[in-house]
Structure formats: structure tokens, C-alpha cells
Amino acid sequence: MESATGSSPSPELAAALHRLRSTLARLKAELELAQADGSAPPVERLLAGLDDALVLLRDVERVALGLVTVLVVDDDARLAELTARGLRRVGYESDSASVFRESRPGEVVVFDLSLYAALDESARAALRSVRPIVATGATDSGSRALATTLNASDYLVKPIELDDLVAAIRRRIAEGSP
């Protein structure tokens, strides 16, 4: 299959589109089956399938459009959401969380260092592998050393200006995959 420019789509894009199409086809089939049987559609399963489809769509957008997603993890859920909103205003797809979750491929993680102690070893390893941008109120050498053990790509001291965070995200993107 060739695009309008005559070039072949990347294998990653083709795979992401295939997974998205398969998920949507499965959802459609479940709805059609429920309609034919006159039964109630399996709402929980359909909602889970829609969540899967949205994640797959994000993968397609990331590959096709170079979309960068940012996960903001902060012990203050309100601050995390405000930061994520600011990043969305300047063009990033951004989620907020008050606990670390496994990051998605290509996702940049902004991590509040105060949450480190609550992480188990597998979460710490996952965090090290994504080279997070550390955001913290701590300025002591021990905190900086901890950020180094996390393989942090940047160390920002709160309060953080949005422009400074965007610059750190751009630096992290320029580094490429860890």
C-alpha cells in the first residue's frame, strides 16, 4: 500500500492501524450480534474495547503525526492536572496522575521526586528506563543524587514555569528513545 506521496507507510504505522481496525471491527461485531439477538449489548466489554481503541488511535497519531504525549505524575493531583492542562494548551497530549503507571511508547514522563519512596523495584526500573524529567521542591544534593539514580533527563525545582517545562520536554524528545 502506498500513500498519496508515493511512499510506503512505516511498518509501525501499518501495525498500529491494523490493531485499531481489528479492535473497532470487534466492537462493531459485538453490537451487531446484540442487535440481532435482541439482547443488551455487553456495555462493560464495549467500554473497555473503546478504551483500547483510543489508546491505539493515540499510537497511530504518535507515529503518523509525530504526536508527543506527556505523563505528569505528582503527589498533588490538582497540580498534576493543572500542569497537564498547560501542556495541552501548548500542543502536547498530556495526562496527569498521582501515582506512577507504566508509560506508553514514546511518552515523556514528568515525575515528582517525592513519590519515589512509594515505588516498588519494578516501577523504579520502569521509571529509570524512560529517563523522566524530575520535578521537585527539593534542592539538596541527596535529591539530585536520587534523580541521577533514576537516570533523569532533567531536574527542575518547583515552582516550575511552563516555558521551562516545555524546554525540558523538547530536550528529552531530542534525546530520542532511551
Q: Tell me: cis bond preceding 159? Omega within 30 of 0 counts.
A: yes
Decide if 69 contacts 108 (C-beta within 8 A).
yes
Q: Residue 95's closest CA among 109, 106, 116?
A: 109
Round to whole Å and give the CA distance between 146 and 159: 19
Do 97 and 135 lie in one domain? The reply is: yes
> 55 with 86, same domain?
no
The fraction of the chain above a pLDDT of 90, given in percent, is 65
Examine residue 43 and state whether it is found in any structural domain, yes or no.
Answer: yes
How many angstroms separate the most distant Cα atoms in the chain? Answer: 66
Q: Are 73 and 60 in the same domain? A: no
Question: Within this chain, do residues 55 and 103 fall inside the same structural domain, yes or no?
Answer: no
Number of domains in the chain: 2
The CATH number of the domain where 171 resides is what?
3.40.50.2300
Question: What cell was used for 125?
Answer: 526500573
Q: Mean pLDDT, to the nearest integer, of 145-168?
A: 96
Domain end point (choices 47, 65, 83): 65
Q: Residue 105 pLDDT > 70, yes or no?
A: yes
Asked if the structure places residue 145 within a domain, the reply is yes
Regarding whether 121 and 133 lie in a shared domain, the answer is: yes
What type of residue is 173? I
Mean pLDDT computed over every residue of the chain = 89
Per DSSP, 32 falls in state H
Q: Are residues 81 and 42 in the same domain?
A: no
pTM (two decimals)? 0.70
Of the three residues 38, 65, 92, the one that is the final residue of a domain is 65
Strand pairing class (133-136; 93-97): unpaired
Neighbours of 133 (CB within 10 A): 23
Model confidence at 170, pLDDT cuts 50, 70, 90, reads very high
Q: Give the mean pLDDT of 105-110.
A: 91
State which residues form the domain around 171.
69-175
pLDDT at 4 over 50: no
Encode pLDDT of 40-78 as tens digits: 989 999 999 998 888 888 778 777 777 789 999 999 999
Asked whether residue 2 is domain-assigned, the answer is no
